[in-house]
Structure 1
Amino acid sequence: MYIVDYKKFDVINGKGLRHSLFTSGCTHHCKGCFNAATWNFEYGTLYTQELEDRIIADLNMPDVRIAGLSILGGEPFQNVEGLLSLTSRVRSECPGKDIWIWSGYTFEEIVSEPAKLELLSRCDVLIDGKFVLEQRNLKLKWRGSENQRVLDVKKSLREEKAVLLS
């Protein structure tokens, strides 16, 4: 897996002070995508164990209230294998930290594939749906177009349907 960037102290991509990982690779190719360079699966740098260890350490920084980790792309759900270890470690080694993930896939598409569902089940919030240029709205929080949803993953999985984050 390649990553485009890792940003510490991000306040844009999710609630609270967070760290954000941007994965490379996306086959959605949404018209008007602001991050089209990330479509290439080998764009950026190779994801390493050292980076994963750093992310875990950064999430557990003493004296700094980090809310959690945001995973964006590219398309994270086209990098499932590379993200399973990281999300598992966040769950076990970073108590109280949440995981937000962005995807061009819908909740319904993700839960229909076991590997994608495994990754989703480790997350707390899903922003789902492809970016639709004709529905672009710069006033929306955490999403770029009207069709995209901000979902509570745990409630959605429990109720077996998409549940908006309240």
Structure 2
Amino acid sequence: MRYHNITKDDMLNGEGLRVVLWVAGCGHACPGCHNPVTWDANGGLPFDEAAEDELFAELSKDYVSGVTLSGGDPLFPGNRADIAALCARIRQRFPDKTIWLYTGYTWEEIQNLPLLKNVDVVVDGRFVQALADSQLHWRGSANQRVIDVQRTRASQEVVLL
């Protein structure tokens, strides 16, 4: 897996103060995407031990609520195995931190992915420029949903946060 940036002290991409991992690779190519530089799966830098150490150093801070995985798309097929392993390591080491994941896939397309057992919130759906609204909380367009993953998995019906 490759990544473009680790943003520290972020308040825009999830609840609370967060660290954001911007991964490389996205096949959606949504018109109006705010981060098209991340589409190339071969772009950015390798997510190596030093990058993980940097991410975990931020997560170890008491005032950081959790991590947000964005990009690109963390669920780009080439990223899924590495994202699954990373989420498992985060959950094990930081059980009280939340994991948010932004994806262009809908919940219905990804709901059976095993990695979701370690994710707290998914913001799903492609960005649709015609539905863009800067007043929306934690999402860019009105078609996207902020989904409470564990409550959704338990009830088998989408539960919005």
TM bucket (normalised to shorter chain) is over 0.9
> Counterpart of 2:72?
74
TM-score by length of 1: 0.92
Question: Equivalent pairs: percent with the same residue?
Answer: 40
Query: For the residues of structure 2 that align with 1:96 and 1:151, how far apart are their CA atoms?
Result: 19
Task: Please say if 1:157 is aligned against 2:153.
Answer: yes
> Counterpart of 2:102?
102
> Counterpart of 2:50?
50
> Counterpart of 1:119?
115
Query: For the residues of structure 1 that align with 2:99 and 2:53, how far apart are their CA atoms?
Result: 16
Query: For the residues of structure 2 that align with 1:59 and 1:123, how far apart are their CA atoms?
Result: 15
Taking the TM superposition and a 5 Å limit, the aligned residue runs for 1:3-82 are 3-61=3-61, 64-78=62-76, 79-82=79-82
Query: For the residues of structure 2 that align with 1:56 and 1:3, how far apart are their CA atoms?
Result: 15
> Counterpart of 2:128?
132
Query: For the residues of structure 2 that align with 1:95 and 1:57, how far apart are their CA atoms?
Result: 15
Query: For the residues of structure 2 that align with 1:40 and 1:127, how far apart are their CA atoms?
Result: 21
Q: CA deviation at 1:53?
A: 2.4
Query: For the residues of structure 2 that align with 1:49 and 1:11, how far apart are their CA atoms?
Result: 26
AA aligned opposite 1:137: D
Query: For the residues of structure 1 that align with 2:51 and 2:28, how far apart are their CA atoms?
Result: 27
Q: How many pairs were matched up?
A: 159
CA deviations 1:63-87 (Å, max 9, x no partner) are x411000000101111111112221
Give yes or no for contact 1:56–1:89 (8 Å, CA) kept in 2.
Answer: no
Instruction: Give the gaps of 5 or more residues in structure 1.
Output: none
Query: For the residues of structure 1 that align with 2:81 and 2:49, how far apart are their CA atoms?
Result: 14
Query: For the residues of structure 2 that align with 1:72 and 1:104, how far apart are their CA atoms?
Result: 10
Query: For the residues of structure 2 that align with 1:95 and 1:118, how far apart are their CA atoms?
Result: 18
Give yes or no for contact 1:103–1:128 (8 Å, CA) kept in 2.
Answer: yes
TM-score by length of 2: 0.94
AA aligned opposite 1:26: C
Query: For the residues of structure 1 that align with 2:145 and 2:111, how far apart are their CA atoms?
Result: 15
Q: CA deviation at 1:95?
A: 2.9
- What is the RMSD computed on CA atoms of the aligned residues? 1.1
Instruction: Give the gaps of 5 or more residues in structure 2.
Output: none
Query: For the residues of structure 2 that align with 1:21 and 1:34, how far apart are their CA atoms?
Result: 15
Query: For the residues of structure 1 that align with 2:14 and 2:111, how far apart are their CA atoms?
Result: 22
Q: CA deviation at 1:110?
A: 0.2
Q: CA deviation at 1:57?
A: 2.5
